[in-house]
Structure 1
């Protein structure tokens, strides 16, 4: 009965919404499982809401930046004092099919994913399920389940704590390359089929010596956040993605954030196509085939990145998430003030938890880069917060978010007066918010029936 009612609701939505005629005709069989109602609301909140005279100079700055760096598509969302005041897509989400970027397109967000994972860990701490001081490996460790079987070569690994991993102090280094981006070589060394999954990568790094004693130094580590992914699953007793969605994202109002897939053909309906610089090298397919592929489309094993860099999201929902972990009462938080304070603190010379940079004035920043994408999420002490994501990478790699930060600062300064509104308020785009509520009420829609091909 419940499923029948849901189908009726979807049918009503489809026949009553004034759907735009999209140039793309994505074949239904190419669409991977996704929340059906999230697809249905795709056109209810569009660029038109931020096509304003007051922000024309901001638009011009962003478009000039995109031309300079040959960026195919990008999206920006801006929040002020907990209110979403601007959200807009630029360029092409899929140039080959003539699909322009709109506010609802979702992108790979690379290491911004680490902030999501960190929030999940802090939620488990609040719930009394674990402590930041808990040991991760060894006889008394969280991951001591015999079914996981993590062989430890360096006894110092038994002293790694949850907080060590959160602050990149677990002892892991990229001295011989980042293991999260060597799925074929690691699979061969561990005698398993390629690509090496996250569990295999963790086994591999533990079968080698650590680069330093845990807690004594700081070295940015993707594999550390991969291990945190497994900690969440072990402690919560459920799938990482489902736990994060049900306990962090949906309570924050984020209904269209998911773990990414490796190939363009496996994308979500409203996910962008990814592009790399013209001279980017092809690499061997991550599944071990003797085929050269772009890193962004089958070269890198994005799926194994998981909590270290595997999420897709729109800038608008990234700001929903940020508003729920900022300690500001204007938008309900999903974490306690104590947890938020712990995350932005930097004891000694450590990094903050989840964030990349924080300071005493209240500026918090999280960036991320992958082949095919660059992302930045920033909270400013003046009440402005923003998220900017591209579907194109360039030769500057992890340094590109710094250029994004400078550009967005310049673009925002060109706006003399911001609109006095809140796009998060149901008074705006009421149908959009109503349908999002329906999605939250029934999680069974994730593997629902395919939609007609005229969307």
Structure 2
């Protein structure tokens, strides 16, 4: 997962609406392309074929929606290079931290139902026993649901001595005496025995742990497992119930999921049977994907990701959230999460599960999220003008070390602005 500095730097560049580079010329002959072509949307074809060729990216899935209609869905390059299998429009990718908006919507759905309040203390819902040998920091009692949504809960992996527990699965396994890879419950239980890095609400520090805590709140309130409840109550109502949590080993994944390519060809000891402790590629069992869950564990096609995203379009009645809940999702947080050191409103801020940029005094916002883990780079954008897109890659960096999602962001705006005529058809009805 990206560090706090990497996330904030990437987020500052994403969906900026600022510098938009010129489009590359199409080189489709050099890049496999699937899905229906539409000459009116050639700027996207030009961009993606040129991007994959120029940056040696294995594959990408791209979907674009306009005013709630899916107008573009294509695959580029290889889902599996070794098998010469192309990316299809419905190929599925790990979406990493683009999972956070999904968890946030689940929490807000419970707020709508009156089962959770944003200012509930999370310890009201968590009933874990503190691990042996780990003193309980009483400041945990001050952490609220709102804090976790806004990344102000008290955890800062970027400070000296700080760490992100999702990156230390073997340490947690040993500390808790587990005979398997740590699940999300185990990570939270382990961290209940660790001190916070700052007073809850005192600052904003991007935290995967906070979203794992929210997953535990969802389970405690609903009495159901996180994945099952979210699929039934968040994803099924928008037609995206095919989305699911990812699996570590290639053999445990469905045929439609892509293969993942770590940019540095890193390896690690496998966390999952029957290959425990064997050396494997990092994306194929060397990172605890199955424990990422509520902060970064979902797998989706770009099309299904847009089914989810379009459910919150401005002026459209959502099948998932009330108008008030959607307003809350985009609202500027109080304090340092929404304002700078001088108390001035930030141009962009982290709302409830999304980066948010208000657009003038229109009341509209552009929102987005990016995601990064070994073998995955993901981008989800909701533009204030009704355009939404998802771009998913099966690698984490280019040969120069650049994150594909961040690198392509400005060019996606350029391509969208270059379209002269938008189709009236809705590919959601066909795919």
Name the TM-score, length of structure 1 as normaliser: 0.78
For residues 389-427 of structure 1, the C-alpha deviation after alignment (integer angstroms, 9 at most, x for no partner) is 011121677854221212212332343322222223x4x
Q: Does 1:171 align with 2:154?
A: yes
Once residues 100 and 179 of structure 1 are traced to their aligned partners in structure 2, the CA distance between those partners, rounded to angstroms, is: 35
Report what 1:294 is aligned to.
281
Q: Does 1:309 align with 2:296?
A: yes
Q: Does 1:72 align with 2:58?
A: yes
Unaligned runs of 5+ in 2: 1-32, 338-349
Once residues 370 and 319 of structure 2 are traced to their aligned partners in structure 1, the CA distance between those partners, rounded to angstroms, is: 22
Match of 2:75 among 89, 97, 109: 89
Report what 2:18 is aligned to.
none
Question: Compared with structure 1, are the counterparts of its residues 397 and 238 closer, same or farther at alpha carbon in structure 2 (3 Å cutoff)?
Answer: farther
Match of 2:266 among 267, 273, 281: 281
Report what 2:47 is aligned to.
61
Report what 1:403 is aligned to.
407
By how many angstroms is 1:274 displaced? 0.8
By how many angstroms is 1:381 displaced? 1.5
By how many angstroms is 1:152 displaced? 5.7
Once residues 386 and 152 of structure 1 are traced to their aligned partners in structure 2, the CA distance between those partners, rounded to angstroms, is: 45
Once residues 168 and 191 of structure 2 are traced to their aligned partners in structure 1, the CA distance between those partners, rounded to angstroms, is: 12
Pairwise CA RMSD: 2.3
Report what 2:342 is aligned to.
none
Once residues 366 and 209 of structure 1 are traced to their aligned partners in structure 2, the CA distance between those partners, rounded to angstroms, is: 29
Once residues 128 and 151 of structure 1 are traced to their aligned partners in structure 2, the CA distance between those partners, rounded to angstroms, is: 34
Q: Secondary structure at the match of 1:338?
A: helix
Q: Is the 8 A contact 1:106 1:270 kept in 2?
A: yes
Q: How many residue pairs get matched?
A: 376
Question: Which is further off, 221-230 or 352-361?
Answer: 352-361
Question: Which is further off, 316-325 or 182-191?
Answer: 182-191
Once residues 133 and 419 of structure 2 are traced to their aligned partners in structure 1, the CA distance between those partners, rounded to angstroms, is: 54
By how many angstroms is 1:146 displaced? 6.0
Once residues 48 and 98 of structure 1 are traced to their aligned partners in structure 2, the CA distance between those partners, rounded to angstroms, is: 13
Equivalent runs, 1:390-429 vs 2, <5 Å: 390-394=393-397, 399-424=403-428, 426=429, 429=430
Structure possessing the higher radius of gyration over alpha carbons = 1
Report what 1:355 is aligned to.
354
Unaligned runs of 5+ in 1: 1-46, 433-455
Question: Compared with structure 1, are the counterparts of its residues 397 and 195 closer, same or farther at alpha carbon in structure 2 (3 Å cutoff)?
Answer: farther
Q: Is the 8 A contact 1:365 1:379 kept in 2?
A: yes
Report what 1:143 is aligned to.
126
Question: Compared with structure 1, are the counterparts of its residues 127 and 398 closer, same or farther at alpha carbon in structure 2 (3 Å cutoff)?
Answer: farther
Q: Is the 8 A contact 2:313 2:386 kept in 1?
A: no
By how many angstroms is 1:197 displaced? 2.1
Q: Does 1:122 align with 2:108?
A: yes
Once residues 250 and 298 of structure 2 are traced to their aligned partners in structure 1, the CA distance between those partners, rounded to angstroms, is: 15
For residues 243-293 of structure 1, the C-alpha deviation after alignment (integer angstroms, 9 at most, x for no partner) is 11111111111131011100111112211111121x332223235944332
Question: Compared with structure 1, are the counterparts of its residues 171 and 233 closer, same or farther at alpha carbon in structure 2 (3 Å cutoff)?
Answer: same
Equivalent runs, 1:332-351 vs 2, <5 Å: 332-348=318-334, 349-350=336-337, 351=350
Question: Compared with structure 1, are the counterparts of its residues 122 and 149 closer, same or farther at alpha carbon in structure 2 (3 Å cutoff)?
Answer: farther
Equivalent runs, 1:366-381 vs 2, <5 Å: 366-381=369-384
By how many angstroms is 1:48 displaced? 6.6
Equivalent runs, 1:183-198 vs 2, <5 Å: 183-198=169-184
Once residues 149 and 131 of structure 1 are traced to their aligned partners in structure 2, the CA distance between those partners, rounded to angstroms, is: 31
Report what 2:226 is aligned to.
240
Report what 2:85 is aligned to.
99
Once residues 334 and 58 of structure 1 are traced to their aligned partners in structure 2, the CA distance between those partners, rounded to angstroms, is: 30
Report what 1:258 is aligned to.
244
Once residues 293 and 48 of structure 1 are traced to their aligned partners in structure 2, the CA distance between those partners, rounded to angstroms, is: 31
Q: Is the 8 A contact 1:150 1:202 kept in 2?
A: no
Once residues 367 and 385 of structure 1 are traced to their aligned partners in structure 2, the CA distance between those partners, rounded to angstroms, is: 14
By how many angstroms is 1:145 displaced? 5.8
Once residues 226 and 204 of structure 1 are traced to their aligned partners in structure 2, the CA distance between those partners, rounded to angstroms, is: 12
Name the TM-score, length of structure 2 as normaliser: 0.82
Once residues 212 and 404 of structure 1 are traced to their aligned partners in structure 2, the CA distance between those partners, rounded to angstroms, is: 35
Q: Secondary structure at the match of 1:404?
A: helix
Q: Secondary structure at the match of 1:78?
A: strand
By how many angstroms is 1:240 displaced? 0.9
